[in-house]
Amino acid sequence: MLYYGEKEDHPEKMLPIQLPQSWKPLSPDYSDLMPVVFLHGMGDSGSNPGMQSLCQTARDAYPGLYVVCANVANGLASVTTPISSQVDELSQLVKADPRLAHGFNAVGLSQGGLVLRGYVESVNKPPVFRLITICAPHEGIGSCPTVYHLVCPLWRLAPYTAGLAFADYWKDASDRPTYIERSRWLADINNERPVKNAKYVANMLQLERYVLVEATRDETVVPHASESHGFYAWGTTPGANGPVLRLRETEGYREDHIGLLTLDRTHRIFEHTFEGTHLRFASEFWAHTVLPHIGP
């Protein structure tokens, strides 16, 4: 069974998914596992049937596991609320839950993965131990998401300051100085400005695992290498399909801006890909590749 988007023009809103019949829990009780928080993508909601079913697969895979299907910036709010405000909302939700007081693992879909990483770097109290992101635009997007084509003309008038969440992670690779100066969120959280934030690095290095899942035919996050911390080379014109640098070729990795080099050298970065478009992975991939990262 594939985990399809509910509509062709809304790939981040999910249809229900189930574990494959081949899955059998190894133990009847996983109540001692680290709790896990799931965060939806742009346009979706933690209470929608698709997200609820995704969270349920974790409970089914690990009976007794405490799972939170986070309702943060649901629906339209996820499109219009700045990422920093979504991070604040997530932080409030986490701090209000006593069962998360000693830390948790986290799974973020698309934009939800960015919000979770923002929480790790800027808050991380209580701490995240394993951060799993699926199709998250970590290094930004180089084109307006096609799913929001109706607002793209408005967004283009002020791509770094428009009242849309994805303006926070827009990156024009043809004009680095303007990006560094005007980026509302991404340039800061990725420590790309001249003055680095040591807290961001220290918090990332608290992770015991950082899991990156990339869709190799993604047309929503462009380039899809962003999902694994790659991006267009500086000097590339948007839409020109210029050279794309992979994670270990980027300046951010080489100079360890947020600790990726250190995490990699200590074997804490896990990279996975699936053949598919945005968030459209097989249930077998989900069960046998992703879910084990929140298991024992």
Catalytically active residues, by annotation: 110, 218, 278
Give the start-end residues of each E strand in 63-122: 67-70, 104-109
In three-state secondary structure terms, 54 is helix
Burial of 296 (0-12, 13-18, 19+ CB in 10 A): exposed
Residues 5 and 15: beta-carbon distance below 8 Å: yes
Neighbours of 171 (CB within 10 A): 25
Q: What is the 3-state secondary structure (H, E, C) of 222-251?
A: CCHHHHHCCEECCCCCCCCCCCEECHHHCH
Q: Residue 41 gets which letter from DSSP?
A: -
Rg of the Cα trace of the chain?
Answer: 18
Q: What whole-number distance in Å separates Cα of residue 34 and Cα of residue 55?
A: 15
